[in-house]
A = this chain, B = another copy of it.
Amino acid sequence: MKKNVVIVGGGFGGLAAAKKLSRTDFHVTLIDKRNYHLFQPLLYQVATAALSPADIAYPLRAILRGPNIEILLGHVDEINKEEKWLKTLEGNRISFDYLILACGSTYTYFNSPSWENFAPSLKNITQATEIRRKVLLAFEEAERESDPLKRNALLTFIVVGGGPTGVELAGSLAEIALYSLVKDFHNINSSDAKVILIEAGPRLLATMPDELSHESVEQLQGLGVDIRTNSKVLDVSDEGIRIGEEIIPSRTILWAAGVAAVAINKELGVELDRQGRVVVGQDCSLKNFPEIFVIGDQAHFESGPDASSLPGLAPVAMQQGRYVAKIIMREAKIKSGQRPPFNYVDKGQMATIGRSRAVAMYKGIHIKGFLAWVAWLFVHIYYLIGFRNRFSVIFQWAWTYLTYKRGARLIIEKESNLPSIEKFSHRNDAFKKS
């Protein structure tokens, strides 16, 4: 009898484990609610019209061709740790010998979930195209708006959160206004647009050294971004945002703050850390359940002299995924014995701030500007899964770089947003037969 390994989540961690277990004697089931692996670090480029969704997403079935790997589209609903099975919302019940949970994290609006209606976060492709729509529509509406106050609110773009996503979003938005759209409009000057980056803490990119934080501020200011650190958001509405006594009118607010744990964690009945992540042992497994592993953003893995958790980075998730797969394969051969602990190899950190601008650190070396940007390009292209995407992305980046144009700046209607009476279809069905 082949042993069943069930992996939940096709992100960086789950995928790394599945790849390692491909073409082995285990029967592997990968469950994800989506049919594709999403290259999350480039999602902001879809939101800012530089890339198309298909450039950063690749079908899981195309990545994992191993005959021992089954992929199931579904939402995991219930996990029974003792009897070793789980159930999906769609009605499948699956038994496991080993379970790898790699469900990532999610965003939180702290205690104000209603803010999400006015300030979407960048969590999936639907959200990314929605943000793209919002940003491009703001310019279109400003073009036909005659009231200067309303026009000003339309041309004010606010990004909440000074982590890598917030920094990258703010940089891209500033570039769109300064370069990509500058010739497109008649009644407005797109470079009049203001981009404001709001961070509650004292500095941007808090996980990086001071020096690189300062550098990112300089680079963003070079693009005209207004940076407000030590600024706590007190209210968000369709009119704008409130920080302290100040109200900033804005019609486009984007949320890149507040990482939170996924909801299933609470139902596992195990120890969670303050942020709700699952506390795991040095072999990434649950206490008393050595055949259940939790990896990546979903896990709290203590490391280092201060016993802090490893950060929520792709290399952590990928290394843990491969490590767990190896542990499982090893136990098929050696029936007993201690598991060697997981050991994280630091791969550094980086963030890009638009054209030719970036900051990076690797083993104590700090890199800034063009060189960091080239390093960023190299790493991201290298890790993009699937040759086709990699090639397409290189081509589109080269195009954007040389021409300042953004090819994917399409405003795709949300279905629910279409006017009910479409008097003018504006559609041209011709050419079909030509």
Docked Cα-Cα span, A73 to B142, in Å, equals 11
Asked if B432 contacts A165 (CB within 8 A), the reply is yes
B432 near A73 with CB under 8 A, answer no
Q: A208-B433, A392-B396 are in contact. List 19 more A-B contacts (CB 8 A).
A: A8-B426, A10-B426, A35-B136, A35-B411, A40-B430, A53-B408, A65-B183, A70-B187, A72-B143, A73-B143, A75-B423, A89-B419, A129-B412, A313-B433, A315-B430, A388-B396, A388-B399, A391-B395, A416-B416
Closest B-chain residue to A61, C-beta based? B184
Question: Are B432 and A164 in touch, CB under 8 angstroms?
Answer: yes
- A428 contacts across to B, CB distance below 8 A: 9, 11-14, 38, 40, 102, 104, 296-297, 314, 317
Q: Which of A36, A59, A129, A313 has the most CB of B within 10 A?
A: A59
From B89, B130, B205, B315, contact of A434 by CB (8 A): B315
Q: What string of 1s and 0s marks CB contacts (under 8 Å) between A285-316 and chain B? A: 00000000000110000000000000111111
Q: Is the CB of A314 within 8 A of B434?
A: yes
What residues of chain B lie closer than 8 Å to A414, measured between beta carbons?
Answer: 126, 415
Q: Tell me if A350 is interfacial: C-beta within 8 Å of chain B.
A: yes
A27-72 contacts to B (CB < 8 Å):
32-36, 38-41, 52-55, 57, 59, 61-62, 65, 67, 70, 72
| A363 contacts the other chain (CB 8 A) | no
Q: How far is the CB of A90 from chain B (nearest CB, A)?
A: 7
Complex CA distance for A102 and B426, rounded to whole angstroms = 7
Question: A62 and B405 in contact (CB under 8 A), knowing A12-B431, A410-B35, A416-B416?
Answer: yes
- Smallest beta-carbon distance A360→chain B, Å: 9
Could you say which of B34, B425, B429 contacts A413, with CB atoms under 8 Å apart? B34
Closest residue to A60 on the B side, CB-wise? B184
Instruction: For chain A, residues 358 to 388, give those with C-beta under 8 angstroms from any C-beta of chain B.
Output: 379, 383, 386, 388
Which residue of B is nearest A74, CB measured?
A: B144
Contacts of A246 in B (CB 8 A): none
The one of B125, B262, B423, B432 in contact with A262, judged by C-beta atoms closer than 8 angstroms, is: B423
- B-side contacts of A418, CB under 8 Å: 126
- Residue A76 is within 8 A (CB to CB) of chain B in the complex: yes
Inter-chain contact A264/B423, CB cutoff 8 Å = yes
Are A410 and B57 closer than 8 Å at their CB atoms?
yes
Alpha-carbon distance A137/B33, docked complex (angstroms): 11
Q: In whole angstroms, how far apart are the Cα atoms of A426 and B33 in the complex?
A: 7
Q: How many residues of A contact B (CB 8 A)?
A: 121
Chain B residues near A348 (CB, 8 Å)? 434
A positions within 8 Å CB-CB of B = 8-14, 32-36, 38-41, 52-55, 57, 59, 61-62, 65, 67, 70, 72-77, 89-90, 92, 102-106, 123-126, 129-130, 136-137, 140-141, 143-144, 163-165, 181, 183-187, 205, 207-208, 259, 262-264, 267, 296-297, 311-317, 347-351, 379, 383, 386, 388-389, 391-392, 395-396, 399, 405, 407-416, 418-419, 421-434
Would A424 and B8 count as touching, CB distance under 8 A? yes
Q: How far is the CA of A170 from the CA of B402 in the complex (A)?
A: 39
Q: Which of B76, B92, B124, B411 contacts A427 (CB 8 A)?
A: B124
Tell me which residues across on chain B come within 8 A of A424, comparing CB atoms: 8-9, 33, 75-76, 103, 262-264
Given A419-B75, A425-B106, A410 and B54 touching (CB < 8 A)? yes
Given A33-B426, A65-B183, A419-B75: A410 and B40 interface contact (C-beta under 8 Å): no
A392 touches B395 (CB 8 A): yes
The reply to whether A186 and B70 contact each other, CB–CB distance below 8 Å, is yes
Query: Are B405 and A388 in contact, CB atoms less than 8 angstroms apart?
Result: yes
Residue among B383, B389, B410, B412 making CB contact with A59, cutoff 8 Å: B410
Give Cα distance in the complex from A5 to B10, angstroms. 53
Query: Residue on B with the closest CB to A434?
Result: B313
Nearest-Cβ distance from residue A143 to partner chain B, whole angstroms: 8
Residues of chain B within 8 A of A205, CB atoms compared: 433
Q: Given the complex of chains A and B, what is the CA–CA distance between A421 and B106 in angstroms?
A: 13
